[in-house]
Each structure stands twice: as structure tokens, then as C-alpha cells.
Amino acid sequence: MPHRSMTFAKFIIEDQRRRGGPDTELTALLNDVQTACKLISVMVSRGSLQQHQTETGTNVHDEVQKPLDLAANEIVLDTCTWGGQVAGMASEELPEVFVIPPPHRKGRYLLSFDPLDGSSNIDVNVTVGTIFSILRAPEGGGDPVEADFLKPGTEQVAAGFALYGPTSMIVLTLGDGVNGFTLDPEIGNFILTHPDMKVPEECGEFAVNVSNERFWEPPVQRYVDECIRGSTGPRGKDFNMRWIASLVAEVYRILIRGGVFMYPWDTRDTSRAGRLRLLYEANPMAMILEQAGGVASTGRQRILDLVPEKLHQRVPLILGSKSEVERIVRYHEAYDKGEDKVFEAPLFNTRSLFRVPAGAHGGV
């Protein structure tokens, strides 16, 4: 049953009390974030009823921007500027750090966010969301610069994401477990409905874009091949494959049902370390997964240990149930040491997804 008396705001206040005293700025900032998520939820729910749904250009990542991307970005900036809790913000949609302008007061925190994750799915009515990460700002009260945001994920004060789907939700960690809140439209509040979320240890699902298989490294090919071979393969169990192309939806499914999500490094562009952004995608999701008993890795390094080198740095991301991610990490270790046996994927061939049986090349 929902904890109807436990609203998002009340939960934050009680969490601060458990920690020995209130942090009024953090409490106010998280409440501003939830207000922004409410506004974005309403906007997204209108779908094609919104005006001006055509594409508007590209962002700093050369990705197509939709009007809702820009609108969601403005909602977060506007909502979190006036309260005086943040000194600056970093967004997927902005090339540089957003500094809080006068006359607004600068606060003790930095906010990084992806305003509308999965926005390419809006046209087909698939769940999208907002991802956010909170760091402490440097002391002194000056204007923050890019270097101030380049902290490892272990220094995050809080992280979370919102889901805009059949119901709107916020999933949050303050460094002591993970809790989920569902928006009750009758009262306009996020209510605690999923306390102390844990990633199930046993799972039978994996999420990866198989169309990129030809670009993967052998450890990833090996893992996916073993899953696809199912009960007749070395794993001795059947798996289902999922791919939503919306990180918030993928991570939420893992929190509820377990499994693994992979957007690994591939050879399409060797100058790019990965696909997903470290500061406002990989780091907050890694903090959430670890707090829920899961693991998040590049395949070779723990995500939260990475020291960012630039604001929009990309990384490979493999996260999910502990046993599955650790298996993939072992495959990378064996591959890097040259200790893995010669790997042949019977289901993945150069020309075709499925192996052609011997003698099947002749005419009919």
C-alpha cells in the first residue's frame, strides 16, 4: 500500500532529521527539482496536443533537439534558479555551465541534469524522464566553472530520475538507500510508494541494442551470445531481451525486475569513449544502482570512481544486477589479459544474424 502520508517533501525533511540536523538548502533544492518534474510531467502528458512539435536543430552533441527538450531544459533552469540553493547548473542541452545570474543568490550546490531523457521516443508515446545529480559547490560563493563539476560520482550528495509514463514517478537516493515516489494527480504530490528499493539478484533479462553487435568488443559479444543461447548454452537458462532506448525506463525496470542494461564501448568511433554522458546520466544512475544493491561499470572500471575530464564526457555504461554485471567485468578482464578462449558467437555472423546450416547455400 502507498505510504499516503509520506510525501516527497516530508520524506526529505525526515531524512535530514535522521542525519542529525536539517540541511535547508538541500531540502529546498530537492523540492524545486520535484516541482520541475511535475511541470515537465504535465507538458509531456499533452503529447501531440502541444503546439510546434517539429525539430528545432541540434544540441552540443549533434543530436536532434525537439521543442520538448528545450522546454524541459527551461523548466529546470527557471525552477531551480530563483531559490538560491545552487551556484550553477550543467545540462545536456547547454554547451557550457549555466551560472546563476543576479539578482538571485548563489547557493551551496551544483545541479547537473538531462532534462528529457529518451526524447526520441516521444513521437511513439514511450516513457521518457529527467535525470539529475547534485554536488557540493566550492566554498567562496564565486561563479562556478566547468572544473567545479568535474568530480567523481562518489562525491554526489544526491541523485535521482523522474519517469513520465503511465504514472509519473521520482526515484531518489540521498546516499542511504533508494526510494520511489508516485505522483498522485488528485493532490498534486509525489507519494512514497516504493520504499527501500532493491535490485533483484536473480534475473532473466538483458537490454542492449543488438543492431550494434558488429561493433562490440568480444567480451560483450560473448555475454550476449550466452544469453541468447539460453537453456541450451553455457548459462543453462533462458533470457529475454529488452531495448527501450530510454535510460530512465531501462533503469526502473532493473530496479523492479532485475537484469542488466548495456551501452558498451564500440568501434564505430574510436575517438569517442562511449555513448552516455558521465555527469548527468551515468553517475546518477550508478549511484542509484549501487544504493539498491546493483553494480555500474564501464566493463573495466567502476563508474563512480571515474574522474571526469570535461563537462559532456561520454562513457560506456553497463549496469544492473550484481552477478550479471560482475560476469561481464570478468569477461573484460579475461579478454584484456588474453586469458579467454577463442570466442566464436554461433548466433552472430558477419553477414547474417543467424548461422546458415551447412549445405544450405544451394538453390531450391
Residue 91: helix, strand or coil by DSSP? strand
Res 271: pLDDT? 79
The string of pLDDT tens digits covering residues 32-73 is 999 999 999 999 988 766 655 555 666 665 666 778 999 999
Q: If we measure between CA atoms, which residue out of 192, 162, 179 comes closest to residue 79?
A: 162
Q: What percent of the chain has pLDDT over 90?
A: 76
pLDDT value at 230 more than 50: yes
Residues 6+ apart with CB under 8 A from 326: 295
pLDDT value at 323 more than 60: yes
Q: Does 271 show up as a binding residue in the annotation?
A: no
* Cα gap 324→295, rounded to integer Å: 9
Q: Which residue has the higher pLDDT, 355 or 207?
A: 207
Res 46: pLDDT? 83
pLDDT value at 146 more than 90: yes
Report the DSSP pairing between strands 109-117 and 86-91. Answer: parallel
Res 343: pLDDT? 54
The string of pLDDT tens digits covering residues 101-119 is 999 999 999 999 999 999 8
Q: Does 119 show up as a binding residue in the annotation?
A: yes
Q: Which residue has the higher pLDDT, 271 or 207?
A: 207
For the record, the C-alpha cell of 285 comes out as: 544512475
Q: Please state the pTM of the whole predicted model.
A: 0.90
The string of pLDDT tens digits covering residues 325-340 is 999 999 999 999 998 7
Could you give the domains of the chain? 3-194 (3.30.540.10), 205-337 (3.40.190.80)
Q: Does 5 show up as a binding residue in the annotation?
A: no
* Cα gap 261→210, rounded to integer Å: 12
Q: Which residue has the cell 515537465?
A: 40
Q: Does 120 show up as a binding residue in the annotation?
A: yes
Q: Are 192 and 228 in contact (CB under 8 A)?
A: no
Q: Does 114 show up as a binding residue in the annotation?
A: yes
Q: Does 93 show up as a binding residue in the annotation?
A: no
Res 202: pLDDT? 85
Q: Does 209 show up as a binding residue in the annotation?
A: yes
State the DSSP string of 207-255: E--GGGGGGB-HHHHHHHHHHHHGGGSTT-S--EEE--S-HHHHHHHHH
Q: If we measure between CA atoms, which residue out of 149, 136, 165, 195 comes closest to residue 313?
A: 149
Q: Which residue has the higher pLDDT, 20 or 296?
A: 296
